[in-house]
Amino acid sequence: MTIASPHLGSSESWTDAKLLFALEEVVEKELNRHLKVTKDWMPHEYVPWSDGRNFPGLFEDGEAWDPQQSKVTEIGKIALVVNLLTEDNLPSYHHEIASLFGRDGAWGTWVHRWTAEEGRHGIVMRDYLLASRAVDPDKLEAFRMQHMSEGFESDNRHSMLHSVAYVAFQELATRISHRNTGHQSGDPVCDRMLSRIAQDENLHMVFYRNLLGAAFEIAPDLTMQAVRDVVVGFRMPGHGMPGFERMAAQMAIGGVYNLRIHHDDVLSPVIRFLKIMSIDGLGPEGRQAQEELGLFMDGLDSEARKFDERLAARAARIAARKA
Binding region: 87, 118, 121, 171, 201, 204
- Report pLDDT for 59: 85
CA pair distance 30, 56, nearest whole angstrom? 48
Cα–Cα distances (Å) from 225 to 43, 47, 111, 232, 289, in that order, read 39, 43, 24, 11, 5
Q: What is the pLDDT of residues 36-46, one digit of tens each?
A: 999 999 999 99
Q: What is the pLDDT of residues 230-289, one digit of tens each?
A: 999 999 988 888 888 999 999 999 999 999 999 999 999 999 999 999 999 999 999 999
Residue 12 in this model has a pLDDT that exceeds 80: no
- Say what percent of the chain tops pLDDT 70: 96
Report all structural domains of the chain as residue ranges with CATH numbers, in order of start: 16-41+65-322 (1.10.620.20)
Query: Averaged over 92-116, what is the pLDDT?
Result: 93
Q: What is the pLDDT of residues 55-77, one digit of tens each?
A: 998 888 889 999 999 999 999 99
- Report pLDDT for 14: 83
Cα–Cα distances (Å) from 305 to 34, 298, 308, in that order, read 37, 11, 5
- Report pLDDT for 156: 87
- Say what percent of the chain tops pLDDT 90: 78
Summary mean pLDDT of the chain: 92
Q: What is the pLDDT of residues 141-194, one digit of tens each?
A: 999 999 888 878 888 888 999 999 999 999 999 999 999 999 999 999 999 999
pLDDT category at 6 given cuts 50, 70, 90 is very low
Q: Is 24 exposed, middle or buried (0-12, 13-18, 19+ CB in 10 A)?
A: middle
Binding region for Fe cation: 87, 118, 121, 171, 201, 204
Report yes or no: 240 and 45 within 8 Å, Cβ to Cβ: no
- Report pLDDT for 3: 38
Alpha-carbon torsion 131, 137, 141, 146, what sign? negative
